[in-house]
Amino acid sequence: MARGRGQKRDERAPVKEKPAKRRRDASPDGAAFRAKAEPRGGDKADAPVAERERIAVEAATGERPTLRAPVILTVEPTEDYALLDSGEGEKLERYGPLTIRRPENQAIWPRRSASSTWERADAIFTGDVDEEGAGRWRFSGEALGETWPLAYDGIAFHGRFTSFRHTGVFPEQAAHWRFVEEAIASAGRPVRLLNLFGYTGLASLVAARAGAEVTHVDASKKAIGWARENQALADMEKAPIRWICEDAVRYCEREIKRGNSYDAILLDPPKFGRGPKGEIWQIMEDLPYLLALTRMLLSKSPLLTILTAYSIRSSFYSIAELMREEFRGLGGGIEAGELVIAEEGADSRLLSTSLFARWTAHP
C-alpha cells in the first residue's frame, strides 16, 4: 500500500477531513518522533460528557435475513502492503518502502524471524500497548517525517506515524473495499453511500471512484482534514464526496428527520469515542440503537450495510444476530466472521484483526 520513500510524510491513517498541520518533534538525537494525533472517535478527550437523547425508532418486524457464518475474509500480501511476521505481542509490517514494528495483542505465538530482523525495522512503536494508548516512534536510521506516500489499487494516500500506534490505514479493510467497489459498479444505477466513522477516507475514495455519491462522517476534525488531504493526493478533488465532521449517531438522527436515505452504509465504529460536543460512544451500549437508525436510513432499493468491530470482547455471531434482528423484514442475507491478514512467505499464519457482519439485499 505504498510507493516511494519521500523525505516528508503525510498521512493516511485514522484520518478524516481538513489538511492537518504537520508537526515534527524530534528528540535531541533526532531518533524519536511523537505524532500529535488523537485516538479514533474525537479530538477532545477531556470534553464534558453530553447526555444522549434518542429519537423514537421503528420496531423491526418480519423475517430475519438469512445468515452465513463463519466467513473468513483474508487479505494477502501485495506490493503495497505485507504482514512480514508476527508474534510475542507484536507485528512486523511493510507499508510500501517502509517496515514498521508495533504492538499486536492477537499475536500470541512465537516469531518466525530473527530478532535482528525485527530490530532493523524502519519505525518501531514504543510505549503504551493499549489499543488507544499513547507512545512514541523510534527509528532505526535517520528520523523519518510524520507522513509517507502510500497507495491502494492506484489510489494515492499518506501513511502517518500517530502517537496511538496507528498508521492511518487498516489493511484488512481491503476485503470490504473490493466488495463495495464491485457492488457499486454492478448496480447499474446511481448509488448513495454513507460512510460512518469514516476515518482517513480510503473507503470513501474507493466508493467514489466506483461511481457512488459519498457522504463521509467522522467526529474528528483531524481525521476529516487528513481524509481531504488523501482526496487531493489521489487527484479526486472533483469526486462527489461530502466530508462531515459530526457525531455519527447525531448525524443519522438528523438525516432520518430530513427524510434522507442511502443505498449503502458502512459502519466502522471504535470501541469507545467522543463526539465533537462531548457525546459518548460505547459500542456495546450504543450499537443496537445505531443499527436501528441505519435500517431506517436505507433506501427503498438498498444494496448493502457493512459493520466492522475492533477490540471488543464479543463474537461475530453476536453482531450478526444483532444485525439480523434490526434488519427484520428487509430480506437478503448476512455474512459474518473475521477479517484476517495472511503473513508473507511459506508456512504463514493468519492474524485476526476484527469482526464483521455485512448485509446484502441479494446474497
- How far is residue 191's CA from residue 266's CA, in Å, rounded to a whole number? 13
Q: What is the pLDDT of residue 278?
A: 83
Strands 213-218 and 241-245: parallel
- Interval 64-75: pLDDT, tens: 999 999 999 999
Amino acid at site 71: V
Q: Where residue 50 falls among pLDDT bands split at 50, 70, 90?
A: low
The model's pTM is 0.84
Q: What is the pLDDT of residue 277?
A: 82
Length of the chain counted residue by residue: 363
**Does residue 15 surpass a pLDDT of 80?**
no
C-alpha cell at 68: 452465513
- How far is residue 245's CA from residue 20's CA, in Å, rounded to a whole number? 14
Name the one residue in this structure whose C-alpha cell is 477531513.
Answer: 17
Average pLDDT of the segment spanning 49-61 = 82
- How far is residue 196's CA from residue 116's CA, in Å, rounded to a whole number? 41
**Does residue 293 surpass a pLDDT of 60?**
yes
Average pLDDT of the segment spanning 142-158 = 94
String of DSSP letters for 47-94: PPPBPP-PPP-PPP-SPPPEEEEEEEEEEPP-SSEEEEEEETTEEEEE
Average pLDDT over the chain reads 87
Q: Where residue 135 falls among pLDDT bands split at 50, 70, 90?
A: confident
Average pLDDT of the segment spanning 179-204 = 97
- Interval 220-241: pLDDT, tens: 999 999 999 999 999 999 999 9
Q: What is the pLDDT of residue 350?
A: 98
Domains in the chain, CATH or no CATH each: 66-75+171-360 (3.40.50.150)
**112 burial type by CB count under 10 A (0-12 exposed, 13-18 middle, 19+ buried):** middle
Average pLDDT of the segment spanning 78-104 = 97
**Of 223, 319, 232, 329, whose CA–CA distance to 267 is shortest?**
319
Helix (H, G, I), strand (E, B) or coil at 45: coil
Q: Where residue 53 falls among pLDDT bands split at 50, 70, 90?
A: confident
Q: What is the pLDDT of residue 2?
A: 39
- How far is residue 76's CA from residue 342's CA, in Å, rounded to a whole number? 5
Which comes out higher in pLDDT, residue 243 or 128?
243
